[in-house]
Structure 1
Amino acid sequence: MITSWLLGLTLGMTHALDPDHLIAMGTLAAESRDIRRSVLLGVIWGVGHTCALALVGFLVLSLKWTIPIHMAANMEIMVGAMIVALGVHLLWRTLQPWTVHLHEHHHKEMTHSHVHIHGQDHGSHSHHLGGSRAKVLLVGFVHGMAGSAALTLAVLTTIPSMAMGMIYILIFGVGSIGGMLLMSGLISLPFVFVSQSWHHNLKVSAGCLAILFGAYFIWSPFS
């Protein structure tokens, strides 16, 4: 069991190095110039990934269920589509000069609204971080459901009990959270230390790369 748990921790950490994970996290880290925020998003990604893996692992262990090949392929297609969507969203937010919307504020018994205008760095405003966290949690969850995570579930079939299997998933999740925490911090460095003009160019490049890679990921199950 100790060997299996060490294997799970190692697999979890290296799982963060999968190219689809790095591309997706790159589009998320590109939206701000804050290393701490990027690291936090990496942790949230790992939590979503672990929740999905725990759900599928519970089904595998309790029902002795085997993940069908076509289902794993469909999940890979979903991941590819999600990466394309992240790239398009990043390009849209980068290339539009301004965003105008309303914000409501509550003061005692009074509520009023005012027009709020953001520039290209509007993703760094604190009142938008909640949406970013929810989006990253969803991205991590979808990745956890995909075929790359499902491959680790093959190890669960050799674990004799439900409790041991869930412990393995938890350890794997801790490893994936730690790996993504480190990688999200490293990925954010180029976006933090370059000038504003280069930051804009890097965001456009990250968006285009995500679209191309996502399209390849969608096509790969059919090749």
Structure 2
Amino acid sequence: MEASFPLLFAAVVGFGHAFEADHLVAVSNIVTKRDKFTHAIKDGLFWGLGHTSTIFLIGLIMIVGKSTFLNGLFHYFEAAVGVMLILLGVFRLYQFFNKKKYPDGLVLADGNYQMAYGIGLVHGLAGSGAMVLLVMTNIQSNFNSMLYLLIFGIGSMAGMLVAAGIFSLPFSKKITKNRALQMGLVFLSSLLCIGYGGYVLLENL
């Protein structure tokens, strides 16, 4: 069975995983704060690092440590993603309307990637259960299982790097010089984040 899980397949699955709806609405909300393409793709990279960190850690606990206590918690992890998306969108709107406190709220400084990494960590919690169980079912070797999860994570980093770059294009100063249009796009991405977060939360209550 292990032959059916080549490392290239793991990378492809990870790449596609980055394009799931809850991942995209969160990262699109972050990159609206960027005015440079390179900063946005770094957000995608740090999201991927956070996502991979969590999945790899849970893999160590469940595969290497043979622990099963997390099995009943993945449902709550999914709900936590919904809460996170709602809070992310609400905070973005708060910045949008509170221009006195956040005069430069539409732009994040280069080097500030903690938010992207933190969101990746939470998304990793929610997405780790099914992936780890799939690996445990189909791969007997602990080493190969962890290697599969690592390559999957690298694929997700690459996928989100591409997605963040694509989402950032409308917000580049070189493409969008109309401030009102830029703020409108920020507002729209925030509403999408809140709406989808509410859907995820309701689905997992």
Q: TM-score, normalised by structure 1?
A: 0.83
CA distance in 1: counterparts of 2:109 and 2:166, whole angstroms: 22
The alpha-carbon deviation at position 68 of structure 1 amounts to: 5.6
Matches within 5 A, 1:120-159: 120-121=105-106, 123-126=107-110, 129-130=111-112, 133-146=113-126, 148-157=127-136, 158-159=138-139
d(CA) in 2 for partners of 1:119 and 1:168? 42
State which of 104, 113, 118 in structure 2 corresponds to 1:119.
104
* Range with greater deviation from structure 2 (156-165 or 32-41): 156-165
The 5 A counterparts of 1:52-91 are 52-66=54-68, 70-91=72-93
CA RMSD of aligned residues (A): 1.8
Q: For structure 2, which runs of at least 5 residues remain unmatched after alignment?
A: none
Question: In terms of Rg, which structure is larger?
Answer: 1
Kept after mapping to 1: 8 A contact 2:42/2:161: yes
2:30 alignment partner in structure 1:
28
Q: 1:177-196 residue pairs with structure 2 within 5 A?
A: 177-192=157-172, 193-194=175-176, 195-196=178-179
**CA distance in structure 1 between the aligned counterparts of 2:44 and 2:169, rounded to whole angstroms:** 14
CA gap 1:67/1:11 in 2 versus in 1, 3 angstroms: farther
Q: Which structure has the highest strand share of the two?
A: 1
Distance 2:71 2:142 in 1: 24
Gaps of 5+ in 1: 101-117
Q: CA deviation at 1:10?
A: 1.4
CA 1:169 to 1:97, structure 2 compared with 1: closer, same or farther past 3 Å?
A: same
Contact 2:89 2:194 in 1 (8 A): yes
Identity %: 27
Change (3 A) 1:3 1:207: same
**Is the CA contact 1:73–1:221 (under 8 Å) kept in the aligned structure 2?**
yes
Return the offset for 1:149. 3.2
Q: 2:49 aligns with which of 10, 35, 47?
A: 47
What is the deviation of 1:40? 0.2
Aligned residue in 1 for 2:195: 212
Question: Residue 48 of structure 1 contacts residue 138 of structure 1 at CA under 8 Å; is this kept in 2?
Answer: yes
What is the CA–CA distance in structure 1 between the aligned matches of 2:170 and 2:70, rounded to whole Å? 40
CA distance in 1, matches of 2:71, 2:133: 13
Query: Secondary structure of 1:211's match?
Result: helix
Q: State the 1:202 CA deviation.
A: 0.6
Offset at 1:7? 2.4
User: Quick one: which amino acid aligns to residue 190 of structure 2?
Assistant: G
TM-score, reference length from structure 2: 0.89
1:119 and 1:9, CA in 2 relative to 1: closer, same or farther beyond 3 A? closer
2:146 is equivalent to residue 166 of structure 1 = yes
Deviation, 1:8, is 1.3
* Residue in structure 2 matching 1:200, options 183, 186, 191: 183
